[in-house]
Amino acid sequence: MTHTPRATPPPADHDATPPVVIQLEGVHHRFGRHRVLQGIDLTLRQGECVALYGANGSGKSTLLALLATLLTVRQGQYRLDGLDVTQHGNEARDKLLFVGHQTHLYGHLTPVENLLFFRDLRGLDLPESRLRQAIDTVGLAKAADKPVQWFSAGMRKRLALARMLLAHPRLLLLDEPYSALDIQGVHWLNAILTDYLRAGGALVMASHDPERVAALPHRPHHLARGVLSPMPLPQPPLPEPTPC
Amino acid sequence: MLKAIYRIAWKDVAGDLRRRATLSSMLFFAISVLIVFQAAFEPDRKEALRLLPGLLWATTLFTTLVGLGRVFQAEEEDGAFEGLLLASVPRGVIFFGKWLGNLLLTLLVEFLILPLTLVLFNVDAWSHVPAILGILTLGTLGLTGLGTLLAAMTRGARSRETLLALLLLPLTAPMLIAGVQAIAGVLLQNGAVEPWLKLLIIFDLVYLAMAPWAFGWLVEE
């Protein structure tokens, strides 16, 4: 796996307090009678990462779907870069990238064709060589012209993540980003995400894997029964006791 | 936006030509319908000329239904429909991309079955082929427009193909009548073509103006 392009967002202003990227205030969501999210408040600034932890069904994926505009905020307020997302869905979608459990890839298309599709729907002005470079970066150069339907889950995940190298989103939303990735892929992803955060990107990820997330600077939050609460910051491991 | 429409349509058409899934089913279905009609009626030349407009539109309708049943099939794999909704383009652009892909496949089938129909029914109407194709194209614009919207509506339904037929057939009946009458006017040279063409254009405009808006409303959670 080569390591050239970075998932860098647009250049950040280096003020004392980085600007707010997302702001959620009193967001509730329900499916029928079932309350999934209750009074979610969250502020995320440039260069910050929030990691969402919680049991299955606690609402992590629903919260990410709301942030990605796949679900509509009906109660509460969601602002992205100051924009009311309910009123400005298209503009908001232009600023974010979501990689969920499903990779949103077309099996009958090759990786290059899938990225061409992504490029044109996103309105990116990139040559095909740039797409091939991204495919090379995620370690799929040899499979660049083979249909994606024959790919393993890990290869699909890598290709889905290759999109963030092209899109330079303001906000990156990842649902279980480490699933299906091998150790090499995990290291690569953490390196890319660290660069992305340093360059002023904002990241929200749901994970069951705090050990892998620990490699990134982040604020852990716990979601239980739809209620989001901050968790204590992870402590560095204690040094091994030295023998007397 | 045009680039996005083109890319969605290209994805559907190229994918289908690669997998030979929808196009081959539509062609096979159309040929089967024509053979059954020919075997059932065994019309002479004069009778065949009278039957031809209805026959062409019936075949078009059935093959369109086959195509529409699969128009969102590729989007069901790996959450691809969700991926489309995440695109930063208006929902109407997604609709027009899906519609264009479906329209091209349907027109391809129509253009292939028209000469076959003329040969199979031994009808000497070769001089009217451009006019018939024009009328079929005009009708197919609206038929696939409404059909794509209904296919999106029934996307998650268990018996979506039945539901799609139940919704599409009554809604397109007036349009089909206009299409049949327009082709009959061309073939029988009775001069009653223009009013039916105007009606087809009105249906096209109404369906293609309403469908993208309704699609946007439909896909919002």
* pLDDT tens string B134-147: 999 999 999 999 99
Q: What is the pLDDT of residue A241?
A: 62
Report the distance separating Cα A121 and Cα B88, nearest Å: 7
Q: What is the pLDDT of residue A82?
A: 87
Higher pLDDT: A232 or B163? It is B163
Name the residue facing B79 among A91, A104, A120 (closest C-beta): A104
pLDDT category, B200, cuts 50, 70, 90?
very high
Residue B95 above 50 pLDDT?
Answer: yes
Q: How many CA atoms lie within 13 A of B162 on its CB side?
A: 3
Q: What is the pLDDT of residue B17?
A: 84
Whether B217 has its CB under 8 Å from any CB of chain A: the answer is no
Distance of CA B41 to the CA centre of its chain: 25
Tokens of B146: 């409404």
- What percentage of chain B exceeds 90 in pLDDT? 39
- pLDDT tens per residue across span A156-205: 988 988 888 888 889 999 988 888 788 888 888 888 888 888 888 899 99
Residue pairs between chains A and B whose CB atoms are closer than 8 Å: 74
CB contact at 8 A, B8 and A121 = yes
CB contact (8 A) between residue A123 and residue B4: yes
Q: What is the pLDDT of residue B121?
A: 86
Whether A8 has its CB under 8 Å from any CB of chain B: the answer is no
Q: What is the pLDDT of residue A67?
A: 92
CB contact (8 A) between residue A90 and residue B88: yes
State the CB neighbour count (10 A cutoff) for residue A19. 15
Tokens of B31: 């040929």
Q: Which residues contact A22 (CB under 8 A, 6 or more apart)?
A: A42, A43, A44, A67, A78, A79, A80, A171, A202, A204
Higher pLDDT: A48 or B220? It is A48
CB contact at 8 A, B53 and B193 = no
pLDDT category, B87, cuts 50, 70, 90?
confident
Looking at A98-224, list the stretches that DSSP marks H as alpha helix, in order from N- to C-terminal side.
111-122, 128-137, 153-167, 183-198, 210-213
Which amino acid does the sequence have at B108? L
In a domain, A44, yes or no: yes
**Residue B181 exposed, middle or buried by CB count within 10 Å (0-12, 13-18, 19+):** buried
Q: What is the pLDDT of residue A181?
A: 81
Residues in chain B, total: 221
Residue B94 above 60 pLDDT?
Answer: yes
Residue A110 above 60 pLDDT?
Answer: yes
Average pLDDT, chain A: 84
Looking at chain A, list the stretches that DSSP marks H as alpha helix, in order from N- to C-terminal side.
60-67, 89-95, 111-122, 128-137, 153-167, 183-198, 210-213
Q: Which residues of B touch A72 (CB under 8 A)?
A: 220-221
In a domain, A116, yes or no: no
CB contact at 8 A, A46 and A235 = no
- Domain range for residue A82? 20-107+169-230
- Reported ipTM: the value is 0.80
Residue B58 above 60 pLDDT?
Answer: yes
Q: Which residues of A touch B90 (CB under 8 A)?
A: 90
Sign of the C-alpha dihedral computed for residues A143, A149, A155 and A156 taken in this order: positive
Tokens of B43: 């019309």
Residue A34 above 60 pLDDT?
Answer: yes
Report the distance separating Cα A81 and Cα B35, nearest Å: 62
CATH number at residue A68: 3.40.50.300
Q: What is the pLDDT of residue A4?
A: 45
pLDDT category, A235, cuts 50, 70, 90?
low
Closest CA to A4 of A214, A216, A165: A165
Task: Walk across the sheet containing A75-80 and list its strands.
Answer: A34-45, A20-31, A75-80, A83-84
CB contact (8 A) between residue B88 and residue A101: no
SS3 A26: strand
Q: Which residues contact A144 (CB under 8 A, 6 or more apart)?
A: A110, A111, A112, A132, A135, A136
In a domain, A5, yes or no: no
In a domain, A35, yes or no: yes
CB contact at 8 A, B21 and B77 = no
CB contact at 8 A, A172 and A218 = no
- Distance between A8 CA and the closest CA of chain B, angstroms: 19
pLDDT category, B150, cuts 50, 70, 90?
very high
CB contact at 8 A, B72 and B98 = yes
In a domain, A136, yes or no: no
CB contact at 8 A, A85 and A79 = yes
Whether B74 has its CB under 8 Å from any CB of chain A: the answer is yes
Residue A103 above 50 pLDDT?
Answer: yes
pLDDT category, A114, cuts 50, 70, 90?
very high
Name the residue facing B221 among A72, A106, A123 (closest C-beta): A72
Whether B85 has its CB under 8 Å from any CB of chain A: the answer is yes
Q: Which residues contact A31 (CB under 8 A, 6 or more apart)?
A: none
B2 to chain A: nearest residue by CA?
A: A120
Q: Which residues contact A82 (CB under 8 A, 6 or more apart)?
A: A20
CB contact (8 A) between residue B15 and residue A109: yes
In a domain, A163, yes or no: no
CB contact (8 A) between residue B80 and residue A105: yes
Distance of CA A62 to the CA centre of its chain: 14
- Domain range for residue B154? 2-219
Tokens of B188: 């029988």
Whether B7 has its CB under 8 Å from any CB of chain A: the answer is yes
CB contact (8 A) between residue A104 and residue B90: no
Residue B159 above 60 pLDDT?
Answer: yes
CB contact at 8 A, B197 and B138 = yes
Average pLDDT, chain B: 88
CB contact (8 A) between residue A106 and residue B3: no
Q: What is the pLDDT of residue A2?
A: 47
Higher pLDDT: B132 or A15? It is B132
CB contact (8 A) between residue A90 and residue B83: no
Report the distance separating Cα A108 and Cα A147, nearest Å: 5
SS3 B200: helix
Residue B23 above 70 pLDDT?
Answer: yes
Report the distance separating Cα A219 and Cα A202, nearest Å: 12
Averaged pLDDT, B152-172: 86
Averaged pLDDT, B75-89: 84
Averaged pLDDT, A125-133: 90
Please give the tally of structural domains in chain B. 1
CB contact (8 A) between residue B7 and residue A109: no
Q: What is the pLDDT of residue B161?
A: 82
- Distance between B206 CA and the closest CA of chain A, angstroms: 25
pTM of the predicted protein model: 0.84
Averaged pLDDT, B47-60: 89
Residue A47 above 70 pLDDT?
Answer: yes
Q: Which residues of B touch A109 (CB under 8 A)?
A: 11, 14-15
CB contact (8 A) between residue A108 and residue B84: no
Whether B216 has its CB under 8 Å from any CB of chain A: the answer is no
